[in-house]
Amino acid sequence: MECKDTVFEVQHVTKLYGLNKPEASHMMSNGSTKKEVQKKTGVSVALWDINMKIPRGQIFVIIGLSGSGKSTLVRCFNQLNKPTYGHILFEGKDLADLSKKELLTFRREKISMVFQSFGLMSHRDVLGNVAYGLEVKGIPKAHREEKAMEVISMVGLNGWERQSCASLSGGMRQRVGIARALANDPDVLLMDEPFSALDPLVRQDMQFELLQIQRKLKKTVIFITHDIDEAFKLGDMVAIMKDGKLIQTDTPEQMSAHPADEYVEAFINNADKSKVLSVHNIMITPKALIKEDDGVDHAIRVMKKNELSTVYVVDTSLQLAGILTIADAIEAKKNSLSIRSVIHKDVPTVDTDALVGDIMGLAAETAYPIAAVGKDGQLKGIVTKAKVLSSLA
């Protein structure tokens, strides 16, 4: 990944708490566990030798259980935590090299944080909370309130701008938190388990809102969670951490298909795979194809040879033309008809990038396997009911 496409690069970042850091580092380098190091040296290993790149304009999710180091890591991105060893680079520049003034500018203009606890000021109304960052930057009142109203509208809080934050529901308060972070127009949003305190229905709404906002604004979002379903729903890329170490970084689809170890596999087994796997992962290559210009006798031979009762028909460019049944082929032979005249053109199709969860209803209702087609309309594979069901096992 080129530097221009990378917002943050984490290079061998380690964070240790305690006095005897050299011995702790030596033990970790020799394969000791976090618990063993803590017991012998009294040093807590929050992060150990983390390496990752955060792509620009994507949602990058860091997931792990309590104590995995995910929150410690996210606070390294705005330098609330300073690594014991290693480097955090923002657009190629080491954050450790920033002066106090440069670091303040970086925190005000380049990065914003959304907290789990909302972090709102109770003495200010919604507008006052959202505009606060702009006020600190010295933006004139009329301009900052105009900008604040834009993001208030974006998060669906029109009409609530003069309400006290204390009168808002949890979901609405979190919308205020997101609006406040967006008002400064940062390059990066840090979100530390922002939806974990919300009830499930509100949480789903907020996840959808975040996806909508991110796709519109193309902000880089670094999102912390302990929920694998949330990670796979939101993340363009997902990083799994355990005991201060990075275990695997990949797309949700690739991570689900190729877990790095048993720990990752166990994590993924708790996820709803229908929301992760795409048609591309479960489609199979058709046993046989025929072309529109083929003769009926040839089509019947192909189906008999492959023990098929239906066969997909394509044109010379391999674009899907329809499906031919053995009954229709025999009828066409009796009446001297062409394949074109008897194929079923109204056949179910899905994009190869579609999620399995989105085609389950179609798979249950259709009488034929589903044709998986690419963006160009070419037949790429077929999806059977059996493959849909087995993918969820």
Q: What is the CA radius of gyration of the chain?
A: 27
CATH code where residue 378 lies: 3.10.580.10
- For the segment 238-255, what is each residue's pLDDT rounded down to a tens digit? 999 999 999 999 998 899
Residue 95 forms part of a structural domain: yes
Do residues 118 and 166 make contact, with C-beta atoms less than 8 angstroms apart? Answer: no
The burial class, CB within 10 Å (0-12 / 13-18 / 19+), for 124 is middle
Residue 212 forms part of a structural domain: yes
pLDDT of residue 117: 66
Residue 21 forms part of a structural domain: yes
> Do 245 and 299 reside in the same domain of the chain?
no
Residue 382 forms part of a structural domain: yes
The answer to whether residue 3 scores a pLDDT higher than 70 is: no
> Do 292 and 259 reside in the same domain of the chain?
no
The answer to whether residue 2 scores a pLDDT higher than 50 is: no
> Do 350 and 220 reside in the same domain of the chain?
no
Question: Across the chain, what does the average pLDDT equal?
Answer: 89
CATH code where residue 103 lies: 3.40.50.300
**What integer is the mean pLDDT of 340-351?**
88
Say whether pTM exceeds 0.75. Answer: no
End of a domain among 242, 276, 310? 276
> Do 79 and 97 reside in the same domain of the chain?
yes
> Do 12 and 90 reside in the same domain of the chain?
yes
> Do 353 and 235 reside in the same domain of the chain?
no
Range of the domain at 269: 3-110+186-276
> Do 199 and 306 reside in the same domain of the chain?
no
> Do 193 and 239 reside in the same domain of the chain?
yes
The answer to whether residue 281 scores a pLDDT higher than 50 is: yes
Kindly provide the residue ranges of all beta strands, DSSP E only, lying in the chain, ordered along the sequence: 6-17, 44-55, 59-63, 85-90, 93-94, 111-114, 188-192, 220-225, 237-242, 245-250, 289-291, 310-314, 320-325, 349-351, 370-373, 379-383
Residue 166 forms part of a structural domain: no
> Do 287 and 256 reside in the same domain of the chain?
no
| 25 three-class SS | helix
End of a domain among 276, 307, 335? 276
Query: Cα–Cα distance between 273 and 69 in angstroms, integer?
Result: 26
Residue 140 forms part of a structural domain: no
> Do 303 and 384 reside in the same domain of the chain?
yes
> Do 106 and 212 reside in the same domain of the chain?
yes
Structure letter (DSSP) for residue 20: -
- For the segment 136-183, what is each residue's pLDDT rounded down to a tens digit? 888 899 999 999 999 999 888 888 989 888 888 888 888 898 998 898
The answer to whether residue 194 scores a pLDDT higher than 90 is: no
pLDDT of residue 1: 42
Name which of 26, 112, 125 is nearest 74 in CA terms: 112
- For the segment 111-128, what is each residue's pLDDT rounded down to a tens digit? 998 876 667 888 889 999
Structurally, the chain folds into a number of domains equal to 2
> Do 310 and 269 reside in the same domain of the chain?
no
End of a domain among 256, 276, 296? 276
